[in-house]
A and B are shown apart, each in its own frame.
Chain A
C-alpha cells in the first residue's frame, strides 16, 4: 500500500515544492514524520540565532521518499535541506543536482574528523561530498532472554559464531511452557519493505565470509562465489533445512518479524537500537538481550551501515542559509538528540542517551559496518538478488543455482 501512494506522493511533493518556490524567503526543511517536532524545535532555536531566516519544516514519510526527492530535483523547484537515507544519497548525487558540501560546511565550522568515515563514504561521489551524515546505525542480534532461559541456554551469552548460532536457534525452536510454538530466528523473506529488509539481513553474512554481491570496485559480480554462496546458504538453511524460522518467512518483513518477537513467537531477530525501543514500548515484559551478529569461525562480523544524511539541492533557493542550518545541526549534541539510533558524529555517542549498556553491541557493530555499493544499478541489483533469494527459500533450486542465475542477471544489468 505504501508503494501504491508513491505516484500520488510524488505529485504532492511537486505541489509542495511549487509552494516553496512561491515563498522563496522561507527556508524549507524536509524532515521525517518521526522527527517533525524535534526539527521544529531546532528550527525555532536556529531562527532565534538568525533572525533574518524563516524556516518552514515539512514532514515526509519513508515510503517513496527517494522518488519524491527525485521529482523535486528534476522539477528544479526544491526544498533547501532534506533528510535522506544514506543509501539514497549517492544515487541522488548522480543526477548532478546536489550541492557539493565539503568546503562550505568546513568553512561553517563542521568537524569532519569527528564523523564516522564509513558514513562519509555514503555521501561521497567522485571524490566530492554531497551529504552530511547525522545518523549512523548497524544491526545487532536482538534476543529474548526469557526464551533462552526456558530452552536451557545461558541468557547472558548470545551466539558468537555461525555454528553456535545455528545450534542455539535449533534449541530455541520448541513449544514453550505456555504451549506456544517458538522459532529460533526470524528470516526475512517477503512482505512490503523489500528488497531492503532481506538485503540488510543476508548481505552481512556474505561479507563476513569474504564474499558479497559485488567485488570491492563494484565492477565484478561475486554473488555466486563459494564465500558468498556459503553466506546465503546459512540464511536460507535457517528456514529450509533447520526449520528454525516460522512458516510465514516468505511473508515477513522487519516489522512482521518484530511483531513475532514481541509476542514471543521468534526468539532472535537482527535489528537496530530503534527496534529495541519499539519492542520495549510494545512488550515491556520481554527481557531483551543484544549481541553482535554471529560470524564464521575465526572471521570478523559485519553489517550494512544504515543511517541518514542531510542533502542540499543545487537549485535550493536558500542555499547559504541551508548550509548554515546543516552546520548548526552537525553539532554532536544536536545529532545525539535528533537521531533515532546513533549520531554519525562519534563524539555524540558520549551523550547520556547512549549510556544504556543494552546499546553496547550496536556500538560495537557500528565499527564493523560498511556502506552499500554506490552504483546507479544497486537498487535493481538488490531486487534481482532478492528474487533469487526467494527462489532459494522456495527451494526451486539449490542456493548455488539461484545465485548463479542472479549473477547472470546482475552481469547483464552492469553491461546495460
Chain B
C-alpha cells in the first residue's frame, strides 16, 4: 500500500486526530500510568487504589456526588421545562422575561458562587435576614454549615445556575411543534394540562434526552460552585469526587493517589453513561 492508496479522508481528519490524541489520549494514558506507580515512578500495583478506596470518607463522597448530580439534574430539568413552557405562552413583556431569565446562566460561575455564599451566610446573609424579618425562622440557619442543609443549598445554586439553559432548549423545541397538533387536541376538548402531557413533553423527548446527558456530565465534572462556596465542608459533608481529586493532587501533592481516584471516578462515570445509553437507546428503538 502506498501513500497514494490511502483514503484521502484520512488526511483530512489526521490533524484533528493527532490533536485529540495529544490532548485526550496522552493525559488518559499518563493518568492510568500514574495511578499504578509511586512518587518515584516505580510500579506500585493496586496500592494507590487501596489507599484511595479504603479512606473512611470515600463512601460519603460517593454518596454526595450521586446526591449532587441527581438533585441538580432533576431540579434543572423541572425548573427549565416549567420556564420553557411558560415562556412559550403569549403574554406582555415576554421578550424581556426571556432575556432576564438568561442572567443566571450568563453570570460566571465563580461570581454566582461567591454571591450565593454571601446570601447564605449565617449571620449576614440576606436569606436568613428575610426569613427572620418575615418570622418564618426565629434563629439564623447555618445553610452552608448544617449537614442537613448544605447539599440542598448547593443543589439549589446549581439548579438556579443551569435551568435557563434547559429553558432555552425547551423553548426552541416547543417552537418547532406544529400548531396543527394543538388545534387537533383542542377540537377534542383537551385542557392546557393535556397539551403539556400529550403534545409538548412527547415532542420534546429527543431534546430532553440530549440535555439530560449534557446536564449529567456537567454536574459530574463541575467543581466551581461547591469548591468556592464550601470547599467540600463542613467535615466533608459537601465533598464530591472531582474536588477530592483536585485536593489530593494540588494541595497534598499526592499525584498518584489523585490519579487512582480519577481512574475510579472514570469507571463510575462509565457505568452511568452505559446505563443511560441502555435506557434511552432502548427507548429510541421502540
Asked whether any CB of chain B lies closer than 8 Å to the CB of A333, the reply is: no
Asked whether any CB of chain B lies closer than 8 Å to the CB of A1, the reply is: yes
**Considering the chains assembled together, what is the distance between the CA atoms of A119 and B235 in angstroms?**
32
| A1-B228, A3-B251, A67-B253 given; A190·B233 CB < 8 A | yes
Asked whether any CB of chain B lies closer than 8 Å to the CB of A231, the reply is: no
Interface of A is mostly: helix
26 contacts between A and B (CB under 8 A): A1-B228, A3-B227, A3-B251, A4-B110, A4-B224, A7-B250, A10-B250, A190-B234, A248-B122, A248-B123, A248-B124, A248-B142, A250-B142, A250-B233, A250-B234, A251-B142, A251-B145, A380-B254, A387-B57, A387-B233, A391-B235, A393-B234, A394-B145, A394-B146, A396-B147, A416-B51
Partner of B252, one of A246, A247, A249, A379: A379
Partner of A396, one of B56, B224, B235: B235
Chain A residues within 8 Å of B, Cβ to Cβ: 1, 3-4, 6-7, 10, 67, 70, 189-190, 192, 194, 246-251, 265, 379-380, 383, 387-388, 390-391, 393-394, 396, 405, 408-409, 416
Q: Which residues of A contact B139 (CB under 8 A)?
A: 247
Q: How far is the CB of A376 from chain B (nearest CB, A)?
A: 9
Closest A residue to B117 by CB, please name it: A251
Q: Which residues of A contact B123 (CB under 8 A)?
A: 246-248, 265
Partner of B121, one of A10, A70, A249, A251: A251
Asked whether any CB of chain A lies closer than 8 Å to the CB of B144, the reply is: yes
Q: Which residues of B contact A250 (CB under 8 A)?
A: 122, 142, 144-145, 233-234
**Considering the chains assembled together, what is the distance between the CA atoms of A189 and B233 in angstroms?**
10
Q: How many residues of B contact A (CB 8 A)?
A: 30
**Considering the chains assembled together, what is the distance between the CA atoms of A4 and B235 in angstroms?**
20
Q: Which residues of B contact A248 (CB under 8 A)?
A: 121-124, 142, 145
Q: Which residues of B contact A394 (CB under 8 A)?
A: 145-147, 234-235
Interface of B is mostly: loop
Asked whether any CB of chain A lies closer than 8 Å to the CB of B114, the reply is: yes
**Considering the chains assembled together, what is the distance between the CA atoms of A192 and B122 in angstroms?**
16
**Considering the chains assembled together, what is the distance between the CA atoms of A406 and B250 in angstroms?**
22
Asked whether any CB of chain A lies closer than 8 Å to the CB of B71, the reply is: no
Q: How far is the CB of B147 from chain A (nearest CB, A)?
A: 6
**Considering the chains assembled together, what is the distance between the CA atoms of A1 and B109 in angstroms?**
11
Q: How far is the CB of A289 from chain B (nearest CB, A)?
A: 24
Q: Which residues of A contact B235 (CB under 8 A)?
A: 387-388, 390-391, 394, 396
Q: Which residues of B contact A390 (CB under 8 A)?
A: 233-235
Asked whether any CB of chain A lies closer than 8 Å to the CB of B242, the reply is: no
Closest A residue to B51 by CB, please name it: A416
Asked whether any CB of chain A lies closer than 8 Å to the CB of B173, the reply is: no
Closest A residue to B123 by CB, please name it: A248
Partner of B231, one of A3, A67, A249, A405: A3
Q: How far is the CB of A168 from chain B (nearest CB, A)?
A: 22
Q: How far is the CB of A298 from chain B (nearest CB, A)?
A: 34
Q: Which residues of A contact B56 (CB under 8 A)?
A: 405, 408-409
Closest A residue to B254 by CB, please name it: A380
On whether the beta carbons of A70 and B231 are closer than 8 Å, the reply is no
**Considering the chains assembled together, what is the distance between the CA atoms of A250 and B140 in angstroms?**
13
Asked whether any CB of chain A lies closer than 8 Å to the CB of B236, the reply is: yes
On whether the beta carbons of A251 and B122 are closer than 8 Å, the reply is yes
Q: How far is the CB of B127 from chain A (nearest CB, A)?
A: 13
On whether the beta carbons of A6 and B250 are closer than 8 Å, the reply is yes
Q: Which residues of B contact A249 (CB under 8 A)?
A: 145
Closest B residue to A259 by CB, please name it: B124
Q: How far is the CB of B37 from chain A (nearest CB, A)?
A: 15
